[in-house]
Amino acid sequence: MKNKYIISKKRGMYISFTVLTVICVLYLAPFFFMLITSFKPGQDMLRNGLTLKMDFDIMTLNNYRILFSEDSRYISWFKNSLIITAIYTAFSVFFSSLVGYGLAVYRFRGRRLLFLLVLLVMMVPLEILLLPLYRLMIEIRLMNTYLGVVLPFAVSPFAIFFFRQYVAGIPKDLIEAARVDGCGEFRIFFKIVAPLMKPAFGAMTILMALTSWNTFVWPLVVLRSSDKLTLPIGLMSLLTPYGNAYDMIMPGAVISVIPVALLFFMNQKAFIEGLTAGGVKQ
């Protein structure tokens, strides 16, 4: 009886292993083919589509040379993406942690209402606000600027929610004790609670950076000149009907994944905490 159980368990494991292997190969295949294609001339992709063929004789590093040549726009797109990601991450983590802390620690009039508003903002897709926000950006002269990309979403409702839940789990006695010692409220936050929130800061920094690095729709509206574009929008702009920029598409796509892939493999745990703690813990 027991033996039979173990055998069936073992067989189940083989089946799981095989199913997962097949699926993982399918999910990783796009990366592999993007990498292969990135070495082929753009004209080949224009003519034959993205192919399964491994033509080693047409594969060169030439595309990457073009990508990083001196007058290439790609370098400035990369730089723009880095700057926007840095500003956005710093803003959203800092401000959202303040708000989340405020909502978790203090009992004040309007606290419930504010929390409901946070949830409301989380639930309304920003795409609905595209046009009025666009007009607002024109009015306050933030079109085609980094700040225009960052500012409207600098306080992330998701991050607020996350920080609020996190701070709610920190013992209140600590704060009370500091208060009795005459510690000011801001000092309590920065010197006592913030150090305890390190894992939360880590998780949100990574999640916000990923979001910002890959965000597409809003920067597409705000950024207008070719030197200001971020990577995803820049890549899209390479798709001209004449195919004269096709050499840069695949290597450009490959290189743009590398920073986030590095970030992910160095901080897998924080990544997963950032994703899950917001919604699933109940």
Query: Which residues within the stretch 87-146 sit at the binding site for another protein (CB under 8 A)?
Result: 95-96, 98-99, 101-103, 105-106, 108, 111-112, 114-119, 121, 123-136
Can residue 201 be called a binding residue for another protein (CB under 8 A)?
no
Out of 7, 47, 177, 266, which residue is the one contacting another protein (CB under 8 A)?
47
Can residue 31 be called a binding residue for another protein (CB under 8 A)?
yes
Can residue 20 be called a binding residue for another protein (CB under 8 A)?
yes
Task: Compute the least distance from the CB of residue 102 to another protein, in Å.
Answer: 3
H-helix or E-strand containing 208? helix 198-214
What is the distance between the alpha carbons of residues 91 and 160, in angstroms, rounded to a whole number?
Answer: 12
Out of 82, 90, 147, 275, which residue is the one contacting another protein (CB under 8 A)?
275
Can residue 231 be called a binding residue for another protein (CB under 8 A)?
yes
Task: Compute the least distance from the CB of residue 65 to another protein, in Å.
Answer: 20
Can residue 152 be called a binding residue for another protein (CB under 8 A)?
yes
- The Cα angle at residue 118 between residues 113 and 124, in degrees rounded to 5: 120
Task: Compute the least distance from the CB of residue 129 to another protein, in Å.
Answer: 4
Tell me the site size for another protein, rule CB under 8 A.
101
What is the distance between the alpha carbons of residues 129 and 32, in angstroms, rounded to a whole number?
Answer: 37
Which amino acid is located at 98 in the chain?
L
118/200 with CB nearer another protein? 118
What is the distance between the alpha carbons of residues 73 and 221, in angstroms, rounded to a whole number?
Answer: 19
Q: How far is CA 95 from the centre of its chain?
A: 17
Which amino acid is located at 28 in the chain?
L
65/111 with CB nearer another protein? 111
What is the distance between the alpha carbons of residues 105 and 167, in angstroms, rounded to a whole number?
Answer: 7
- Compute, in degrees rounded to 10, the torsion defined by CA atoms 131, 84, 163, 128: 10
Can residue 279 be called a binding residue for another protein (CB under 8 A)?
yes
For residue 250, the tally of other CB atoms under 10 A from its CB is 23
Task: Compute the least distance from the CB of residue 69 to another protein, in Å.
Answer: 20
Can residue 169 be called a binding residue for another protein (CB under 8 A)?
no
Q: What is the crossing angle of helices 198-214 and 246-266, to 10°? A: 170
Residues from 68 through 87 that contact another protein (CB under 8 A): none
Can residue 55 be called a binding residue for another protein (CB under 8 A)?
no
Which amino acid is located at 189 in the chain?
F
Instruction: Tell me which residue has tokens 């796509």.
Output: 253
5/70 with CB nearer another protein? 5
Task: Compute the least distance from the CB of residue 87 to another protein, in Å.
Answer: 15
What is the distance between the alpha carbons of residues 186 and 182, in angstroms, rounded to a whole number?
Answer: 12
Can residue 28 be called a binding residue for another protein (CB under 8 A)?
yes
**Tokens at 264, concatenated:** 């992910």
Instruction: Tell me which residue has tokens 């994703």.
Output: 275
Task: Compute the least distance from the CB of residue 78 to another protein, in Å.
Answer: 13
